[in-house]
Structure 1
Amino acid sequence: MSHFDIFIGETVGTALLILLGGGVVAGVVLKRSKSHGAGWVAISFGWGFAVLTGAYLAAGVSGAHLNPAVTLGLAISGGTEWSDVPLYMASELLGAAIGAFLVWVTYMGQFKAHLTDPEILAAQPAVEGMVDQKTAPKAGPVLGIFSTGPEIRHTVQNVLTEIIATFALVIAILTQGLNDEGNGLGVLGVLITSLVVVGIGLSLGGPTGYAINPARDLGPRIVHALLPLPNKGGSDWTYAWIPVVAPLIGGAAAAGLYNVAFK
């Protein structure tokens, strides 16, 4: 596949993934949304369907990695050229940022209503712009729509959780989901991957929100930091390295096991 195919497939596919995945979270979180309060099951299935849609769009174009951890795993396993890895990862990050921006556009009115609601403001220990940044909250009231965060802040546990969850995703892709060329998802692999994402959300997503994708977390977190949202709070940059580094470790570990035991 050409560099243009990789760029278009990964950018558009990841943007659609984040639009639908972030969109289901926005619908559940934002108070003036019709799906407000739908819960974790809705979020888990919503992300699974988001993967299904984005991956089917990109599978025939770029292989539908849509995730730097998957790209790294495929490079280690020999399915993707190392020279293509930077383009894959950059396209995925760009697509994730575009998708997050489109979530904001879609729910613009709900964001404004939510972030000016007296109950929401009263629940925040500090509001960005009204206090010194040293006392501002680590995570604002809508950051979870854009990126992940732990329920319990424990660095070792948070890192291990993301490694384990991403390992489960990438080993499933490598053993069950590859196309005939071995450089991306096949038609059946897209469905399998989507169901695995639902399973990870339901079973392993509780501790950290299951980033399992560095681009999915970092791109939208940057968008959150840049958007002119009133009272949005902090972007929690002290945690931001975990959903980037840990999934890459998990993806590499899965590829290592695949090379030794399954290839």
Structure 2
Amino acid sequence: MDNLGIVFLSEVIGTGMLVLLGCGVVANVALAKNKGFNGGFLMVTFGWGFAVFAGVIVAYNSGAHINPAVTLGLVANGATEFGAGVPVNVISVLTYIGGQLLGAIIGAIICWIAYKQHFDDEPEAANKLGVFSTGPAIRSYGWNLATEIIGTFVLVFVVIGFGRQGETGGLAALGALPVALLVVGIGASLGGPTGYAINPARDLGPRIAHFILPIKGKGSSDWAYSWVPIVGPIIGGVLAGFAAIPLLPILT
């Protein structure tokens, strides 16, 4: 397998693990008859943080982007090479994003299998969709978009900051743990308005899974909102990549 193939597989595995565990904690909290039912939003934020930790750990071969916003943010920041020695170009960017989207779909399908009986017993279609994809607490597309831009900007900007410390130790020496804690922090601080997708693949992949799976009484996949957790994180990630050039300089 060549380096592009390794990168693709790594991103599939990492994003699949992320979505399986992330959607899994939402299912545990949102679907009736689960042991974690009504566990609350804080349980969800920690669950997603641990999901990111696991996804980053197993996606080591690709540099563990597991998020198109991170990939595009690194491009905007001027990266010339991704993980596994893969040069930055159109093909490698599409390889990363394709692996992320496929992994997200697979992770969501496996989550559904794990909670199949609970999906069948859940009377509320909205709760079923909420396991797979994000939705706003107050639907206002412009403000929802702004929230996703801000949350993803924080994610990518701080991730680039971790990377800046890579050669000198610091938090980057701890590997996946700082990123996991960052995601918990973003969820606790900025996650309330939209459920903080901050990752286009994390929302689109499971939404596709929701659309194609034979989920009993699943209702609409809410495609009218689906563009927000795609466009917002992309804008936020790219803005963070550009902003990090002057604001997070590398001293020589």
TM-score, normalized by length of structure 2? Answer: 0.90
What's the secondary structure of 1:142's corresponding residue? helix
| 1:87-236 correspondence runs (5 A) | 87-115=95-123, 120=124, 140-177=126-163, 188-236=174-222
Structure 1 pair 187/21, CA: closer, same or farther in 2 (3 Å)? farther
Amino acid at match of 1:246: G
Give RMSD over aligned pairs: 1.7
For residues 108 and 178 of structure 1, what CA distance do their matches in structure 2 show?
A: 43
Identity rate, percent: 49
Question: For 1:46-96, what per-residue CA distance to the aligned partner results, in whole angstroms no more than 9, with x for missing partners?
Answer: 00000001101112x110000000000111112241331100001000000
1:242 aligns with 2:231: no
Whether contact under 8 Å (1:177, 1:190) holds in the other structure is no
For residues 56 and 231 of structure 1, what CA distance do their matches in structure 2 show?
A: 36
Post-superposition offset of 1:114: 1.1
- What runs of 5+ residues in structure 1 fail to find an aligned partner? 125-139
Amino acid at match of 1:76: A
Whether contact under 8 Å (1:6, 1:87) holds in the other structure is yes
For residues 176 and 15 of structure 1, what CA distance do their matches in structure 2 show?
A: 23
For residues 214 and 164 of structure 2, what CA distance do their matches in structure 1 show?
A: 41
1:82 aligns with 2:89: yes
Whether contact under 8 Å (2:162, 2:172) holds in the other structure is no
Whether contact under 8 Å (2:70, 2:237) holds in the other structure is yes
- 1:63: which partner in 2? 63
1:27 aligns with 2:28: yes
For residues 101 and 183 of structure 2, what CA distance do their matches in structure 1 show?
A: 19
For residues 51 and 127 of structure 2, what CA distance do their matches in structure 1 show?
A: 23
- 1:253: which partner in 2? 239
Post-superposition offset of 1:187: 5.3
For residues 102 and 197 of structure 2, what CA distance do their matches in structure 1 show?
A: 17
For residues 89 and 152 of structure 1, what CA distance do their matches in structure 2 show?
A: 29
Post-superposition offset of 1:99: 0.3
Structure 1 stretch displaced more, 97-106 or 188-197? 188-197
1:13 aligns with 2:14: yes
For residues 53 and 90 of structure 1, what CA distance do their matches in structure 2 show?
A: 20
TM-score, normalized by length of structure 1? Answer: 0.86
Question: For 1:109-141, what per-residue CA distance to the aligned partner results, in whole angstroms no more than 9, with x for missing partners?
Answer: 1111114xxxx4xxx7xxxxxxxxxxxxxxx33
Amino acid at match of 1:82: N
What's the secondary structure of 1:34's corresponding residue? coil
Whether contact under 8 Å (1:148, 1:210) holds in the other structure is yes
For residues 98 and 165 of structure 2, what CA distance do their matches in structure 1 show?
A: 22
For residues 164 and 47 of structure 2, what CA distance do their matches in structure 1 show?
A: 23
Which consecutive segments of 4 or more residues in structure 1 shift more than 2 A? 177-181, 185-189
Question: For 1:147-167, what per-residue CA distance to the aligned partner results, in whole angstroms no more than 9, with x for missing partners?
Answer: 000010111110000000000
For residues 101 and 186 of structure 1, what CA distance do their matches in structure 2 show?
A: 32
Question: For 1:9-39, what per-residue CA distance to the aligned partner results, in whole angstroms no more than 9, with x for missing partners?
Answer: 1000000000000000000001011111101
- What runs of 5+ residues in structure 2 fail to find an aligned partner? 83-87
